[in-house]
Amino acid sequence: MNNKVVATCDFLIIGAGIVGLNVARCLKRIFREASVIVIEKESECGFHASGRNSGVLHAGFYYTPDSLKAKFTRLGNQLLTEYCDEKKIPINKCGKLVVAKNEDDLAGLDILLKRGRENGVVLQEITEQEASEIEPRVRTHQRALFSPSTASVDPNQVLNAMKHDALREGIKIHCNAQYLKKIRNGMIVTTAGNYQPGYIINAAGLYADQIAKDFNFSQHYCVLPFKGIYLYSNEPKHSFKTNIYPVPDLKNPFLGVHFTITVGGQIKIGPTAIPAFWREQYNLLERFKFSEFTEILKKQLGLFFYSKFDFKKLALEEMKKYSRHYMVQLASVLAKDVKKENYTQFGKPGIRAQLLNVKEKKLEMDFILEGDKQSMHILNAVSPGFTSSLPFSQYVCDRIIELIT
């Protein structure tokens, strides 16, 4: 470990994902003369969730009107769409159908339609016939919802553009600098040396809760990792005209297996939400840490027997999705001519840094921040964190300004 002081700065952001980069950019716009540094433990920005998400720009109708997600998703969709158009980043403005599998799902469609209207989201209630005109292969019971503003992008292209914007705006990005601990006088120890910041923003994703504990935050929270994997189709590109989603179980934050069209027109089904046994368990024993394994396994076992969201049922259902056959079976309820032989390759896994309220034994559904005059900690910025990143980052900065001025 290198103990030299690498730099002093006014603002130090831990984590160069899409939220970390945009918080840095926002602070630099507000405090033009301030020195802003982003440290990132990997050799590149967005190595984790920011570069491994679906790339879907959500519309914002899933969330209750009183939530931060409802507040920022619609605006985030608009701002990111404008950003991609301005930067000439390819975007697939294909929309999304939400379908009913049976009579029981119709009540769920009504709830989503109501939320969409309350959130100011354009959402069309359509018949089964109208749904088939949008997507000839769709299956739905009686009716469906259509979201015209849902789109898809390549998240890495978006992130690279934002990284270059940040550098051009005078922000310094230090990769291969992993946070280790906080020591006297607020100094931050990293694998690349020590930093002396005026203010710290923790945007560390999977490790945000652990870092927050060094600052006496996240006392009732911990990150519970869930592995998300998509299964790709070998059908010709643009075999589907729009994304197709089921009515989700609104008691948990996952949307169920669905069809997503990438920006290039490739079809994929998923994702899974399989409980992971350590924070970066992308493949087999990759990045295995015994201490994390025992900590997370203990939490999972406790939730297996008691939780407010039926972790046992969720875990068992999600584990079945390691099976290609089962994934295709779930997807075939949503569309016609879905054949196992067309779905042969799993994509790059991602890990969802889902916040667990340990005290109440429930998954947190909304974005969560904790902070004071010295530091701000972004504890829960899961989906639609990518879509919401621009207005959410402004919100984080507004909170910081309230605390330090």
> Which string of DSSP letters, residue by residue, matches 269-328?
EE---EEPSSTT-SSTTTT--HHHHHHHHHHHHHHHHS-TT-HHHHHHHHHGGGSHHHHH
Instruction: Select from 89, 22, 17 the least CA-distant residue to 47.
Output: 17
pLDDT (0 to 100) of residue 94: 97
Q: List, for the chain, all residue ranges whose pLDDT scores fall below the cut of 70.
A: 1-3
Cis ω for the linkage preceding 384 (within 30 of 0): yes
pLDDT at 2: 55
> Which run of H or of E encompasses 371?
strand 368-371
pLDDT at residue 182, rounded to an integer: 96
- Residue 35, amino acid: S
pLDDT at 252: 86
d(CA 213, CA 377): 10
Contact 68, 219 (CB under 8 A): no
Q: Please tell me the predicted confidence (pLDDT) of residue 164.
A: 98
Question: Rounded distance, CA 391 to CA 55, Å?
Answer: 17
Angle at 398 between CA 395 and CA 404, to 5 degrees: 145
Q: What is the pLDDT of residue 3?
A: 64
